[in-house]
Amino acid sequence: MQNTPSLIEKVFRAPKAELHVHIEGTLEPELIFKLAQRNRIPLAWSTVDELREAYQFTSLQSFLDIYYAGTSVLQTEDDFYEMTSSYLDNACQNGVIHAEIFFDPQSHTSRGIGFDVFIPGMVRALESAREKGISTQLIMCFLRHLPESDALKTFADSREWFIRYPEWLTGVGLDSSENGNPPEKFARVFARAKAAGLRRVAHAGEEGPVEYIWQALQLLESERIDHGVRSFDDPDLVAHLSDTQMPLTVCPLSNVKLRVFDSMGEHNLRELLQAGVNVTINSDDPAYFGGHVNENYQSIISALQLTENECYTLLQNSLKSAFVNAQTRDKMLMQLNAYWHADA
């Protein structure tokens, strides 16, 4: 059997990309309490352990309620720098050589925290991480439970920052509560993002119906589907995803934690792979869902008894699906191949 602790260890050390991680979802309870104390922000929990015990979610919304409470401690540029640096330090330890990081500006601007606070803080951390050999990009997500008018205003307010930091700010995304908030609701703002030359991704097919995936592809012209595990509800969609090699940024621990699947053993990742779908592994909100990207690999490898070839395919998919130029992609793939086949 190929699924052994040595295979998991090999995957742990392998060069990989992470394409679906919410920076606000990397806030560990310890850092939440540290920043709350520093900024004199009251919390609903008395201790770190009490907060961690609250991470028993029954749905996406039950998670988001705590998630947005956690973001309230982020007040200064240094707070955003510290949060982003903490994630990137962990990513390096997980073998991540390229990270595309989501952030939610509306969860900060609604509290009076402006782009001039969170963008410089995050960018400082990205610049520091480059010295450690990890390349990074930021993807600005719109909160789908808010009206599109709010997203349009957010996009207008962000334009000067996309122009100022084109190396770091490269795309837009769509996240937050999926049910009742179809992608078609945001067609206009995504059209403006495309006209501005930005990359586009969207959460779809996690809790929402398979139709949301079609909408993200056809109406938003999304270049990746975040989650997308409901694809199997429509064989025509699975065939389309396979034919086009449209990437799915799957987050196994999140899927189980939010009851998309009752257990990791019931996850459909292997079926997606066997259907030829371009699946990648990511952590989503690692502070809340039980682990960073390597823990997600470990959990799915163990539960599904993935083979060495399947693991290599997942790692390769992550690098192939990154929003980088061909030269950078080839360099990253060469790095993976040199590592993976070193003992061959």
| Amino acid sitting at position 199 | R
pLDDT at 110 over 60: yes
Looking at residue 62, its pLDDT comes to 84
d(CA 115, CA 300): 37
The answer to whether 100 is a known catalytic residue is no
pLDDT at 82 over 80: yes
Determine contact, residues 36/339, Cβ cutoff 8 Å: no
Per-residue pLDDT reduced to its tens digit, 215-264: 999 999 999 999 999 999 999 999 999 999 999 999 999 999 999 999 99
Can you count the helices (H) and strands (E) in the chain? 17, 8
Q: How confident is the model at residue 1 (pLDDT cuts 50, 70, 90)?
A: very low
Number of separate domains in the chain: 1
Q: Which listed residue (178, 206, 207, 310) is catalytic? A: 206
pLDDT at 103 over 50: yes
In the block, tokens 């015990």 appear at 53
d(CA 238, CA 332): 28
d(CA 111, CA 38): 17
pLDDT at 3 over 80: no
pLDDT at 278 over 60: yes
In the block, tokens 């056809």 appear at 218
With CA atoms as reference, report the closest residue to 35 among 82, 93, 89, 68.
82
Long-range contacts formed by 328-332: CB under 8 A, 24+ apart = 328/135, 332/15, 332/17, 332/97, 332/98
Contacts of 32 (CB under 8 A, 6+ apart): 43, 51, 70, 73
Tell me the average pLDDT across 84-107: 97
Higher-confidence position of 1 and 293: 293
Q: What is the CATH number of the domain that holds 142?
A: 3.20.20.140
Tell me the average pLDDT across 192-217: 97
Looking at residue 70, its pLDDT comes to 87
pLDDT at 11 over 90: yes
Q: Residue 71's domain spans which residues?
A: 5-340
Give the torsion through C-alpha atoms of 109, 115, 116, 117, to 10 deg: 60
Strand, coil or helix: what is 278? strand
d(CA 44, CA 48): 11
Sign of CA dihedral 63, 41, 48, 120: positive
Q: DSSP label at 284?
A: B
Give 47's Cβ-side CA count (13 Å radius): 3
Say whether 203 counts as a known binding-site residue: yes
d(CA 247, CA 137): 17
pTM for this prediction: 0.95
Say whether 20 counts as a known binding-site residue: yes
Looking at residue 59, its pLDDT comes to 82
Q: Please give the mean pLDDT across all residues of the chain.
A: 95
